[in-house]
Structure 1
Amino acid sequence: MKASVIISTYNAEAWLEKVLFGFNVQTEKDFEIIIADDGSGPKTKVLIDQMKSMISNPIIHVWHEDNGFQKTQILNKAILSANSDYLIFTDGDCIPRNDFIAVHLDYREKGYFLSGGYFKLPMSVSKVITQEDITLQRCFDVKWLIQHGLQKSYKNIKISSSKFKSKILNAITPTNASWNGHNASGWKNDLIAVNGFNEEMQYGGEDRELGERLFNMKLKSKQIRYSAICIHLDHSRGYVNEEALKKNKTIRKFTKMNKIVRSPNGIDSNA
């Protein structure tokens, strides 16, 4: 199996269903799906069980009880559940374009992790996207998106560029090639070497902190934000916590200053 796709989710069945439809039409078929479920209620399990009969790829549902925002913990459990040596991370609100997996696999290289981005949609557009729109890839057509409420903007080039232009934009973008939880990939052995995600951290930079430890381990990163495309469905963020954000900032500062590689509170607590 070429890749394991790890999708984080929490009580967002309508969005997760659309994301899974996106992975069902990938040009690259040789991958498994691992849903890292941070304590969703029974409706999410019902959806996943239904989707298992509709999607050709194997689906593994990794779940733990709801204890607030504990995404780092469930992601570490998902890493341990992966059957591939290459892991692609995204969120249950990001629909992948049909070449998403193929791009990640094409750019993968030992000694590197890959850094992608997403294209944000307003709620009005997020709601109207159907399974057919995903299957036919209409939801990645800028003209179609504008017809359904997307504002015209120079930012739309992110999903409208040709393969050649995408490579140029990847090279010249000022955006750092950091580890972004909604669109990033790396080798399982590298993630285990840094002890996975820091389970002390809640929402806010917890993915970037992992990337900073990968850099401390002398890995490099590749920018693929204009090549590996996914569209982000809008939603509220009730889990944002100012105290947790401050704590996360302190942890990241310590990681950078002290060149920390292995998290003291990481994946080994789940082994």
Structure 2
Amino acid sequence: MKASVIMSTYNAEEWLEKVIWGFSVQSESDFEIIIADDGSGPKTKELIDRLRGEIKMPLIHVWQEDNGFQKTQILNKAIVASSSDYLIFTDGDCIPRADFVATHLAKKEQGYFLSGGYFKLPMDISKAITKEDIAAQNCFNVTWLQERGLQSGTLKLSAKGLKEKLLNLLTPTKASWNGHNASAYKAELIAVNGFNQEMQYGGEDREMGERLFNKGLKSKQIRYSAICVHLDHARGYVNPEMWKKNNDIREYTKKNKVVRTTTGIDFN
């Protein structure tokens, strides 16, 4: 297969279904979907089992018991479970535009990882999006969104051609590893031992990207090329202690030019 798409989830079946439908209508279909499930209940498994019979891409469910926010651990397990040499990462609350996978594949390059972003939607629009809207790509249509009350800037959704390329070049946003929209060759992620499993919520994705930089990789900005919309939700798992611990680990990684974490893929 040309790619493995890895998406994280936790007890969010309504959003996860919309995201899987988004991947089911991609212009490029030669990829597998791996659900990195950080301890969801049986409803998530029931959803995945049902959708296996309704989409053409292989749908793989990698699950671990609920032990709090352990996204880094389940992502490492998903990396091991993947069968492609190129991995695209996103989250189970980000619906991809129909050219999302094709864009990642077209722009992949040895010695680089790709860095994309997302477009945030409010809760009412997130709820309103249907399977039919995803198939018709309405949720990426600026007019459709504005008719439903969207007021924030929509340049990311509307940029095409030369404007898209210029915006990728000129954006002040750093091309970091963003877990909702990033990709790299599997061998590079294995070389840095994947995600640091000491880390919980807050910069855990960026820290792995910083180790990829330390290894010598460069990053390529695709913020205005690989488009996904982010469905709104609460974040009850955030706390200051997590952030402080993660920030300390990131500072250590930068200061000491750490490439390979000792609590990564092989820690399992």
TM exceeding 0.5? yes
Aligned to 1:196: 194
Aligned to 1:91: 91
State the one-letter code of the partner of 1:10: Y
Aligned to 2:21: 21
Is 2:208 the partner of 1:210? Answer: yes
State the alpha-carbon separation in 2 of the partners of residues 43 and 128 from structure 1: 21
SS in 1 for 2:154: helix
State the alpha-carbon separation in 1 of the partners of residues 239 and 84 from structure 2: 34
Q: CA deviation at 1:19?
A: 0.2
Aligned to 1:263: 261
| Contact 1:170/1:223, CA 8 A, preserved across alignment | yes
Q: CA deviation at 1:269?
A: 1.5
Aligned to 1:137: 137
State the alpha-carbon separation in 2 of the partners of residues 262 and 149 from structure 1: 46
Q: CA deviation at 1:161?
A: 1.0
State the one-letter code of the partner of 1:22: G
State the one-letter code of the partner of 1:244: M
Aligned to 1:226: 224
Q: CA deviation at 1:164?
A: 2.3
Give the CA RMSD over aligned residues: 0.5
SS in 2 for 1:231: strand
State the Cα deviation string for residues 29-64 of structure 1 (Å, max 9, x = none): 100000000000000000000110111000110000
| Contact 1:163/1:227, CA 8 A, preserved across alignment | no
Runs of 4+ aligned residues of structure 1 deviating over 4 Å after TM superposition are: none
Gaps of 5+ in 2: none
Q: CA deviation at 1:148?
A: 1.1
Aligned to 2:236: 238
Aligned to 2:177: 179
State the Cα deviation string for residues 210-245 of structure 1 (Å, max 9, x = none): 000000000000000100000000000000011011
Q: CA deviation at 1:162?
A: 1.1
State the one-letter code of the partner of 1:96: P
Gaps of 5+ in 1: none
State the alpha-carbon separation in 2 of the partners of residues 179 and 91 from structure 1: 13
Aligned to 1:68: 68
SS in 2 for 1:7: strand
Q: TM-score, normalised by structure 1?
A: 0.98
State the Cα deviation string for residues 83-102 of structure 1 (Å, max 9, x = none): 00000000000000000000
Identity of aligned residues (%): 72
State the Cα deviation string for residues 120-158 of structure 1 (Å, max 9, x = none): 00001100000000000011001100111211x3x3101
State the alpha-carbon separation in 1 of the partners of residues 51 and 27 from structure 2: 19
State the Cα deviation string for residues 58-79 of structure 1 (Å, max 9, x = none): 0110000000000000000000
State the alpha-carbon separation in 2 of the partners of residues 204 and 74 from structure 1: 16
Q: TM-score, normalised by structure 2?
A: 0.99
| Contact 1:129/1:139, CA 8 A, preserved across alignment | yes
State the alpha-carbon separation in 2 of the partners of residues 165 and 49 from structure 1: 41
State the alpha-carbon separation in 2 of the partners of residues 26 and 145 from structure 1: 21
Aligned to 2:162: 164
SS in 2 for 1:261: coil
State the alpha-carbon separation in 1 of the partners of residues 80 and 149 from structure 2: 41
